[in-house]
Structure 1
């Protein structure tokens, strides 16, 4: 499912679209655009660059799964021949996870990441421009708790520090090009900010929006 990674940027893209499942109008940043490939297979166009008709679905795992279940894509593309293979929500999750880890790797190459307990602690205590703390989900409680406490204390007056525990240490190893990564700090910069944005996309997809109501589900479909 690599088609979403290529293509020509879409010109004059509207800032909002209607979710084909819920019929709610949302910013495009809160939606995922799907297109039908030449073979009729539905693929996620995460960068919103691929040509052709698009069907937009709220960017949560539950909504994508429900859209597949309710055959939203066949109606949206007005083509009964389009097909969704396998677990579409799981495939989108994997794409978002890969995009987030790739962004962390690019931040490291840009010099906007420090890793290792001692370096991260020094960055937090020394006043470095830390914008996020990444800690492996399988890391020990002692080290992660200590660094989290330092980060919270330092940024208490600024609304807190973004703490990420989304990835396992083996995933961080690959992203940061070293072994046994448990702790990393993102330093202010364009690449680090992009990494936090991509991580937020992944976390939102998995957890959903913190809203009292998403509105009713409709069989109607809105597309490009």
Structure 2
């Protein structure tokens, strides 16, 4: 995998057509149409050509049709638009949203928010420093979700050096709305499928937004909902 900041020799646009025809949609790896690198399915974005030849971001990777895959990175999406790889790979003219990265980011953030809400309603998530840290100390944490605008020192103190996945897809106000309070900085998700899904989508979101999964200022949920209303 090419490291960020290194100069990469990318394939010519025409090669995307062959990759699309040859790359299988089975197994743990998917081939990125832009870089032609094989990446883990969890680190990639799936698109399909929908009705009227419009490109659709398949956020859950479940829609019918052959998938067109990109690495979940902002610069890869930008280059895909510049090179027109979707139309080339699909061998037809495909209508692509003008703000594709923004659409993908908004849908991923909505999905993460919905998954967090599902975990809360099912009793598989808890918020608040003391209650959440109790789960963490007792080994009941499959994932830690921390507000992106919380104190770095407080977030580190909460983790206490424990080996656990940490993501920060939302700010404190956004997390608070999901957990029925004004603000929420620390959330612990119980081990299981939901924890894994939240971690995967939060990391994909961070890649698309061009930031790390922690230590960043995430958009508020209100901003995302407004953006989706415009798409």
Q: Tell me, which stretches of 5 or more residues in structure 1 are unaligned? A: 1-11, 210-224
Q: In 1, distance between residues paired with 2:158 and 2:173?
A: 25
Q: CA deviation at 1:164?
A: 2.6
Q: CA deviation at 1:179?
A: 2.5
* RMSD of aligned residue pairs (Cα, Å): 2.5
Distance of aligned partners of 1:128 and 1:38 in 2 relative to their CA distance in 1, 3 Å threshold:
same
Match of 2:133 among 121, 125, 133: 121
Instruction: Identify which range, 162-171 or 82-91, moves more after superposition.
Output: 162-171
Q: In 2, distance between residues paired with 1:145 and 1:167?
A: 18
Is 2:34 aligned against 1:21?
yes
- Matched residue SS, 1:129: coil
2:208 corresponds to: 205
CA distances 1:46-84 after superposition (whole Å, capped 9, x unpaired): 33322234322222221112101111111112113x211
- Matched residue SS, 2:51: coil
Higher normalized contact order (CA 8 Å, seq sep 6+, divided by chain length): 1
Is 2:141 aligned against 1:134?
no
Runs of 4+ in 1 over 6 A off after TM superposition: none
- Tell me how many residue pairs correspond in the alignment: 188
CA distances 1:27-55 after superposition (whole Å, capped 9, x unpaired): 33332221122122211123332223432
Match of 2:45 among 24, 28, 32: 32
Q: Over alpha carbons, which structure has the higher Rg?
A: 1
Q: TM-score, normalised by structure 1?
A: 0.72
Q: TM-score, normalised by structure 2?
A: 0.70
1:184 corresponds to: 187
Is 2:97 aligned against 1:94?
no
Q: In 2, distance between residues paired with 1:48 and 1:88?
A: 17
Q: In 2, distance between residues paired with 1:62 and 1:176?
A: 33
Is 2:153 aligned against 1:145?
yes
Indicate if the aligned counterparts of 1:60 and 1:208 stay in contact, CA closer than 8 A.
no
